[in-house]
Amino acid sequence: MRIAILLLWAWCVVIAPSPTRAEEPNGSAALFATTCGWCHSQGGRAPGKGPKLAGTERDDAFIVNRITHGKPGAMPAFGGTLTPEQITSLVGYIRSLPPE
């Protein structure tokens, strides 16, 4: 029985998918999808209700400020919902998007 469990565990380790860049260990892609992805289409790679974020020329301070405070009438503020670490993670995710 122990051997069967060990073999099953080894098989799961071998076939388990490895994380890709879009599936970062810190969960930034999932966080983006559940907060920003409603308006920034295709994970930020295409415009939707909000602009395309891939290849943005805005600096990190601007992005942090926009996520934290939002834009009246256009984007909700997430400063009361997200931690500073989560906001930093989102900035890193946006920076990781390849410009098109």
Residues 41-80: tens digit of each pLDDT: 999 999 999 999 999 999 999 999 999 999 999 999 999 9
**Residue 51 covered by a domain:** yes
Indicate if the pLDDT at residue 5 is higher than 80: no
Contact 88, 64 (CB under 8 A): yes
Count of beta carbons in the 10 Å neighbourhood of residue 82: 17
The DSSP annotation for 24-63 comes to: -TT-HHHHHHHHTTTTSHHHHTS-SSS---TT----HHHH
Query: What band does 99 get if pLDDT is binned at 50, 70 and 90?
Result: confident
- The CATH number of the domain holding residue 90 is 1.10.760.10
Q: Which domain holds residue 51?
A: 21-96
- Number of structural domains found in the chain: 1
Q: How far is CA 28 from CA 1, 8, 12, 37, in A?
A: 39, 31, 25, 12
pTM of the model: 0.72
User: CB-side exposure of 37: number of CA atoms within 13 Å?
Assistant: 10
State the average pLDDT for the chain: 84
